Amino acid sequence: MTERRPAIAVTGANGFVGAALCRHLLARGERVVGIVRDPGAALVKGVERCVVGPVGPETDWKAALTGVGRVVHLAARVHVPWDGAAEALEEFRRVNTYATGNLAREAARQGIQRFILLSTIKALGDGKPDGTPYTDTDPLAPTDAYGRSKAEAEEAVALAAAGSGMAVAMLRPPLVYGPDVRANFLVLLRACDTPYPLPLGGIGNRRSLLGLDNLVSAIALCLDHPEAVGRKFLVRDGEDLSTPELAARLRKALGRPARIVWAPVGPIKALARIGICRGLAQRLAGSLLADDSGIRSLGWQPPLTVDEGLARVAQWWRGR
């Protein structure tokens, strides 16, 4: 009788990144356990379901890790309407810090071979004042509740793995876009799919981006590559864009004329300074760059260009 090989467990398997990763892993012949909160969560066909209920400090991960050899931890709290409040930090910590630490400790106890944490570039900050890219070895310096909870999660995973024999790798993506995208990118997508001019021409920022397929490719590499162990990687498409450039290329993918007009950037920056729509204003006008030379040194190359990634977003948007 053939012994079943250990599965790869994916938390948040029904999410934006999780579903795409599950499809990729199944296509290469892996057994995949999808760890989800809700029994009714839609999973990619072929994924073995494991329900753990609400994700937080009290989550019991034991059964979810039975028969598992590697873990990819994607489940996270990402957006709340009152970002920055003290209550928001504790809500982020419940899912992103405490639950992650508990999962990593249980994984180490059960002899999991490799643990991949999806963190964020925001664990390093919201952009360097001098406009230079963050590097893999920069110190943690988060500026908001989400980034802080993820920085603490990185520390919790490293502590859990220390001396256990469990190999760990972490990825810190910037803004991720792709089919089924949500949040701020969806706001921009909706604005781009109109005939109206967009007053973004005065913005002279630069931002690193990451297509969903490229992120999945990077996660898959970290699951297997021996030199990924113990490292934290920034990942990007390879081409940094300003907000007006992104909007123009997104409109091209949608089959619309660019129609990007000049407008003063001062009002947008003022909103960020006084705390009104701070997150969206920062993403529109601020710069946030990543140096991905670390993961590229392992031979990784993004499988899709920015324009190919945006074309996939446009195709999904048109056919949704």
Give the whole-angstrom CA distance, residue 173 versus residue 159. 22
Per DSSP, the residues of 91-103 read: HHIIIIIIHHHHH
Q: Which of 243, 221, 246, 242 is nearest to 231 (CA)?
A: 221
Give the whole-angstrom CA distance, residue 202 versus residue 112. 50
Burial grade of 196 (CB within 10 A; 0-12, 13-18, 19 or more)? exposed
Q: Which pLDDT score, from 0 to 100, does residue 90 have?
A: 92
Residue 141 tokens, joined: 């310096």
Residue from 134, 146, 177, 196 carrying the catalytic annotation: 146
Decide: 243 and 181 in contact? Cβ < 8 Å: no
Quote the crossing angle between the two packed helices 16-27 and 212-224, to the nearest 10°.
60
Q: Which residues pair with 114 in a beta bridge?
A: 70, 167
Q: Which residues pair with 170 in a beta bridge?
A: 117, 232
Number of Cβ atoms within 10 Å of the Cβ of 219: 23
Residue 43 tokens, joined: 């999973």
Residue 251 tokens, joined: 């409109």
Question: Any residues with CB less than 8 A from the CB of 29 and at least 6 apart, and which?
Answer: none
Is 98 tagged catalytic?
no
pLDDT tens sequence for the chain (320 residues): 345 679 999 999 999 999 999 999 999 999 999 999 999 999 999 999 999 999 999 999 999 999 999 999 999 998 654 444 555 899 999 999 999 999 999 999 999 999 999 999 999 999 999 999 999 999 999 999 999 999 999 999 999 999 999 999 999 999 999 999 998 899 899 999 999 999 999 999 999 999 999 999 999 999 999 999 999 999 999 999 999 999 999 999 999 999 999 888 766 655 455 444 455 555 677 899 999 999 999 999 999 999 999 999 999 999 98
Q: Which pLDDT score, from 0 to 100, does residue 276 have?
A: 41
Q: Which pLDDT score, from 0 to 100, does residue 147 have?
A: 96
DSSP at 140: P
Q: Which pLDDT score, from 0 to 100, does residue 1 have?
A: 38
Decide: 303 and 214 in contact? Cβ < 8 Å: yes
| DSSP strand pairing (7-11 vs 68-73) | parallel
